[in-house]
Structure 1
Amino acid sequence: MSYFYIRDIQYNKQQIAGLTIYNHSAALNKPNVLFKYFPNTIKDMNGVDRNFSKEALANNTVHLSAPSEFDDPYDCNVYVDYNEFALQRVRYYALLCGVNIKQEWDYAEVSRNLAMRIFMHISSGGKVASLFELDKSNELVRVHQEYFLISLEKELLQARLNPNADGEFYYKAINHVIDTEYNNMQKTANRFRVSCFAQSPYSMLMWSHYANNHQGFCIEYETPDYSKENENIYFNLFPVIYTDTRTSLTKLSLNWNATGSLSHSDIWDFYKYCLLSKSLDWKYQQEWRLISCDTLLTDQNYNCKFFKIKKVYLGNKMSAKDRLEIIDICKKQGIPYTGVTIASDQFNMSDCGILCEDCDRVKQYIQSNSSTV
């Protein structure tokens, strides 16, 4: 039996299937605050040093990352059954081309019969573009059918230019076009950008993984009530679904490749089972995600103005130099801040009881630097 968890509430497969965008994002109450961990490190961007963590603090923005940059190889990775997808797509094209398909034929058999049909058509003087009549009643379907013919013609042309090509190139051309279609859904997923948030500033693992081993900082954001001004963020901010299984999107991918469009239900399934699903191994994160397709919510650098900053937490291992730099930004922006300390008698973290400026490490750093001036 498959298990799904949203904010520590368990759901079964049928309950998750019945979730809609409305009751997932709006009816499930958002927490009053959200937290984001920052490494406070410098990146070389085409020869220019950038500290995106400091920029996020100074500008009250969050950066939305490509899923390929995440530490989980399953993150936003579409699960499509290749064998089922390939068989259904090659059967579809074979039927369009007039191939008399037998029910028991596997992919290889259908593909070879389709290759023979194409070979006979071209050998008799026919063009690839006239293999079958395009569906003129549906523009999106027609475009996808036309794309298949253009892609097939391109593959066949490249094969003919190869002096070592043999009669198998018709079969190989079909396979390559099907493979390209198979990858379309993952290419779509790769267009999305994500910014991740937590529900606590005291997670030892989050500090280790996402705040440069406690040397970075964590920002607390105040989650406002819904308004027209914040609706773009509000309705694109979702709790992650943690599960022990991957749900196939084969049917969705077949629909997409056949028609070039997705229903409202298809789109939400894409969110639930691809963009928002993570392994139970990550359940400790209690993650929320801000999701944007391309730059829908962001500027050209994928930065997005976010909710008001309420407080900044400075990492336990943050250097005195970095600590003073972050404090300076906080003071300029009028943002409260605190250091995070570890308990002596248990594995807990909490706010430091003294001002960061009164910390011995900071005082020693200031004194040593002032004496060298």
Structure 2
Amino acid sequence: MLSRLETAKFVINPKNPRSLFKYRKFDQNALQNLINDKVWLAAPGSFNDPFDCQINIDRKHSDEEIQAYLNFNSESQGDTKRYTLEEIPKEREFYESELNRLDNGVRNAGIFSLSTTPFEPLMWAHYADEHRGFCIEYERSQDNDLNADNCFKVEYGKPIFPILRGLDYFKAPDDEVMKILTYKAKSWRYENEWRFVQMWKTPPELKERSYRLKAHILSISFGVRMQRREALTIIKIFRNDTRIKFYRMSIIPEQFALKAILYRFSAEEFDL
């Protein structure tokens, strides 16, 4: 048994975090994901915020605006093709079909939400079963999924939906999609959220949402109210992985704040 308490020294850097944290309820789905080394890429429609990832597309572009855009695009790419107004109705059909694909793509997206801190009491209350769950620390390194081009910091702003002007999507499609998927109202700022995002052209099968994240687990912290037998169940899953540390959250006396202390258990208890 450990002879002393050790407090975790998590490095918290919201702008460029070394680690990202996932709050979880202790249930069969969570355990199965840990056993299979998988994470769940949730659809936006399943989020607890009905405003999240809402897409508001302004499609009101005149034929002249579409013509100007197409000709500018041709010229910038060194193409001699110039569009006439007579050709625009056919091009508009393509324009509308692509915006419809965008709409469906956003609705079908797979998102794995994380936070930059394991110490937020509201996150424990909302996403870890009122402090009865646990929080996984994932490493964010240069060569893993959490530092890839499809992992983004969520931006918080005015409580209005971002409006996407249809032609703007064609000018910078990736940027415009990410604005939709990573913008939330200021009231959610306490989450300090980052998102790993996967996109599919067609609705994915359920098995595709179960994803093997390329990022090492560094630690797991157990909530203030988590049952000891449940914590030991999780520890036993990783009995052969000595890299993972285990902590328990503790209330800091006379503060509305948490600290993480190294979790203690005996060899006998572990083998039960």
Alpha-carbon shift at residue 194 of structure 1 (Å) = 0.5
Report the counterpart of residue 162 of structure 2 in structure 1: 247
Alpha-carbon shift at residue 183 of structure 1 (Å) = 6.7
CA contact (8 A) 2:140 2:215 kept: yes
Alpha-carbon shift at residue 73 of structure 1 (Å) = 0.8
Alpha-carbon shift at residue 344 of structure 1 (Å) = 2.4
TM-score, structure 1 length as denominator?
Answer: 0.54
Structure 1 runs, 4 residues or longer, greater than 3 Å off = 134-138, 140-145, 181-186, 230-233, 295-299
CA contact (8 A) 2:138 2:216 kept: yes
Report the counterpart of residue 47 of structure 2 in structure 1: 70
Report the counterpart of residue 326 of structure 1 in structure 2: 234
Measure the CA separation in 1 of the matches of 2:87 and 2:177. Answer: 27
- Larger strand proportion of the pair: 2
Measure the CA separation in 1 of the matches of 2:207 and 2:117. Answer: 28
String of CA shifts for 1:144-200, please: whole Å, max 9, x gaps: 78x8xxxxxxxxxxxxxxxxxxxxxxxxxxxxxxxxx99765323102111111111
Measure the CA separation in 2 of the matches of 1:201 and 1:338. Answer: 11
Does 1:192 pair with 2:169? Answer: no
Report the counterpart of residue 282 of structure 1 in structure 2: 188
CA contact (8 A) 2:152 2:195 kept: yes
Measure the CA separation in 2 of the matches of 1:355 and 1:295. Answer: 47
CA contact (8 A) 1:219 1:309 kept: yes
Does 1:306 pair with 2:223? Answer: no
Measure the CA separation in 1 of the matches of 2:146 and 2:249. Answer: 33
- Larger helix proportion of the pair: 1
CA contact (8 A) 1:58 1:333 kept: no
CA contact (8 A) 2:146 2:196 kept: no
Q: 1:212 to 1:341 in 2, by over 3 A?
A: same
Alpha-carbon shift at residue 41 of structure 1 (Å) = 1.9
Q: 1:71 to 1:231 in 2, by over 3 A?
A: closer
Alpha-carbon shift at residue 281 of structure 1 (Å) = 0.3
- Residue identity over aligned pairs, in percent, reads 26
String of CA shifts for 1:45-101, please: whole Å, max 9, x gaps: xxxxxx2x12333343321100111111111101235xxx4xx48x86xxxxxxxxx
Structure number with greater Rg is 1
String of CA shifts for 1:260-300, please: whole Å, max 9, x gaps: xx53513312211x101000000011100001102999962
Correspondence 1:21-40 to 2 at 5 A = 30-40=16-26
What is the CA RMSD across the aligned residues, in angstroms? 3.6
Q: Alignment length, in residue pairs?
A: 233
Measure the CA separation in 2 of the matches of 1:184 and 1:224. Answer: 33
What secondary structure sits across from 1:263 in the alignment?
helix
Q: What is the letter of the counterpart of residue 266 of structure 1?
A: P
Name structure 2 gaps, 5 residues minimum.
Answer: 1-12, 64-85
Alpha-carbon shift at residue 233 of structure 1 (Å) = 5.9
Pick aligned residue for 1:55 from 15, 32, 46? 32
String of CA shifts for 1:237-268, please: whole Å, max 9, x gaps: 0100100143211x22xx49xxxxx5351331
Pick aligned residue for 1:235 from 149, 154, 164? 149
CA contact (8 A) 1:330 1:337 kept: no
TM-score, structure 2 length as denominator?
Answer: 0.72
Measure the CA separation in 2 of the matches of 1:215 and 1:342. Answer: 14
Does 1:210 pair with 2:127? Answer: yes
* Structure of greater relative contact order (alpha carbons < 8 Å, 6+ residues apart): 2
What secondary structure sits across from 2:172 in the alignment?
helix
What secondary structure sits across from 1:190 in the alignment?
helix
